[in-house]
Amino acid sequence: MTALARTASGMPAITYNFAYLDEQTKRMIRRAILKAIAIPGYQVPFASREMPMPYGWGTGGVQVTAAILGANDVLKVIDQGSDDTTNAVAIRSFFETTAGVATTTRTRDATIIQTRHRIPEAPLRAGQVIVYQVPIPEPLRFLEPRETETRRLHALSDYGLMQVKLYEDIARHGHIATTYAYPVKVAGRYVMDPSPIPKFDNPKMDDSPALQLFGAGREKRIYAIPPYTRVVSLDFEDHPFAVQAFAEPCALCGAKGVYLDEVILDDKGGRMFVCSDTDHCATRQAEGHTGSMSAPYGEGQP
């Protein structure tokens, strides 16, 4: 609890609670989370707080994590699949500072994984919680900007707008032009935005043993997928949902069937593809897997 006591100069003294948020706020967020779990895929409004990082930079995910975090949890934070991207580093160090919890980069060692834009390649297990940072929770937002209207559409399960949009994509481009934040239907009821993960990751959400929580701070919404819930990506019979496939394996660990980052090596068209999930790649390299551009293991490792 922030003390209102004043310093000698008369200015309020500045102190913070475990994991930053006061306990009352955490209770409010937990109630929203419980409701979200009870109604899979439904966006529960919650009284999102101002956080000490900007809106749009993970405030929703940070609030969810702060509300569920206990002293014995082990936290992993990724952005774009990597533990070492700047925003992941900033959020991890926020919880190290305010909660003093243990952190890890190992997917399997973490009890809570906060993520932006990816789901780890290693399958999640029961007991783990994955917390997604969500910029725009409303899957219908770009089809209908009005909240009053989209809430009505959800209430009526009226998802015709979305089907029409996907159909128009096919008519215009020959493909469904949505490659990330690809809409899913949860437990046969609510159409949900999976956050801007590539659609490559969508199948990992289906029937996952882990609890999946979604926090949108600026838009003040929390939603959830309980463990072992059916999650279906929207599609058409003649245009079934399909994920991206990469032509070559990871250049460092040789992994196939994983999501790859394209790295531009020079200005002459040189490029390589490497695992987006840095923990997955490092683990495989440690196990002795190599790729086309691997150095012998141990070289070039920090």
Partner 1 sequence: MYVAVKGGEAAIRNAHALLAQRRRGDASVPEIGLDQITGQLSLAVDRVMAEGSLYDRELAALAIKQARGDLIEAIFLARAFRTTLPRFGASVPVDTGAMRVRRRISATFKDLPGGQVLGPTFDYTHRLLDERLATQAGDDADRTAAETTTSARPNVPPLPPAGEGWGGGTAPTPDASPAGEIPAPSLPSSDRTRLLPSSTPETEAGNIRLRSGRGFTGARVHTSGEAAEAPAGPMPRVTDLLGDEGLIEPAPADDGTPPRDLTREPLSFPADRPLRLQALARGDEGFLLALGYSTQRGYARTHPFVGEIRFGEVEVSLHAEELGFAVPLGEISVTECQSVNQFKGSATQPPQFTRGYGLVFGQLERKAMSMALVDRSLRFAELGEEKSAPAQDEEFVLSHCDNVQATGFVEHLKLPHYVDFQAELDLIRRMRAEHAAEAEAQAPDVAEAPHKEAAE
Active-site residue, 291 included: no
Q: Which of 250, 270, 288, 300 is catalytic?
A: 250
**Largest Cα–Cα distance of the chain, in whole Å?**
73
Which range touches partner 1 (CB under 8 A), out of 33-41, 52-60, 103-111, 184-192? 52-60
Q: Which amino acid is at 242?
A: A
Query: Tokens representing 147?
Result: 């909240």
User: Within 83-112, which residues bind partner 1 (CB under 8 A)?
Assistant: 84-90, 93
Q: Which of 41, 58, 60, 217 is catalytic?
A: 41
Give the Å distances, CA to CA, from 173 to 161, 181, 299: 18, 18, 45
CA-based radius of gyration for the chain: 21
What is residue 271's three-state secondary structure? strand
Taking the CB of residue 51, how many other CB atoms lie within 10 A of it? 18
When asked if residue 249 is in the footprint of partner 1 (CB under 8 A), the reply is no
User: Within 207-236, which residues bind partner 1 (CB under 8 A)?
Assistant: 218, 220-221
Which range touches Zn ion (CB under 5 A), out of 102-110, 177-185, 221-229, 252-260? 252-260
Of 172, 170, 168, 230, nearest in space to 41 by CA:
230
Which member of 28, 44, 224, 250 binds Zn ion (CB under 5 A)?
Answer: 250
CB of 293 to Zn ion, least distance (A): 10
When asked if residue 72 is in the footprint of partner 1 (CB under 8 A), the reply is no
Active-site residue, 81 included: no
Cα gap 78→106, rounded to integer Å: 11
Active-site residue, 275 included: yes
**CB-based burial label for 271 (10 Å; 0-12, 13-18, 19+):** exposed
The alpha helices in 174-213, defined as continuous H runs, are: 202-205
Nearer to Zn ion, 145 or 257 (CB): 257
Which member of 26, 76, 116, 280 binds partner 1 (CB under 8 A)?
Answer: 116
Q: Which of 269, 281, 298, 300 is catalytic?
A: 281
CB of 84 to partner 1, least distance (A): 5
CB of 130 to partner 1, least distance (A): 16
Which member of 40, 41, 194, 198 binds partner 1 (CB under 8 A)?
Answer: 198
Partner from Zn ion, partner 1, none contacting 123, C-beta within 5 to 8 A by type? none
Which residue, chain included where needed, has tokens 């419980």?
34
Q: Which of 58, 253, 254, 291 is catalytic?
A: 253
Which member of 200, 205, 223, 229 binds partner 1 (CB under 8 A)?
Answer: 200
Cα gap 16→1, rounded to integer Å: 6
Which member of 30, 35, 39, 80 binds partner 1 (CB under 8 A)?
Answer: 80
Phi, psi of 201 (to 5 degrees): -85, -15
Active-site residue, 253 included: yes
Helix (H) or strand (E) holding 223: strand 221-225
CA angle (269 as vertex; 264, 272 as ends), nearest 5: 40
User: Within 11-40, which residues bind partner 1 (CB under 8 A)?
Assistant: 11-12, 14, 16-17, 20-22, 24
When asked if residue 204 is in the footprint of partner 1 (CB under 8 A), the reply is no
Q: Are strands 102-103 and 74-79 parallel, antiparallel or unpaired?
A: parallel
If DSSP states are collapsed to H, E and C, what string results for 14-61? CCCECCECCHHHHHHHHHHHHHHHHCCCCCEECCCCCCCCCCCCCHHH
Which member of 217, 255, 278, 279 binds Zn ion (CB under 5 A)?
Answer: 255
Partner from Zn ion, partner 1, none contacting 253, C-beta within 5 to 8 A by type? Zn ion
Give contact residues for Zn ion (rule: CB under 5 A).
250, 252-253, 255, 275, 281
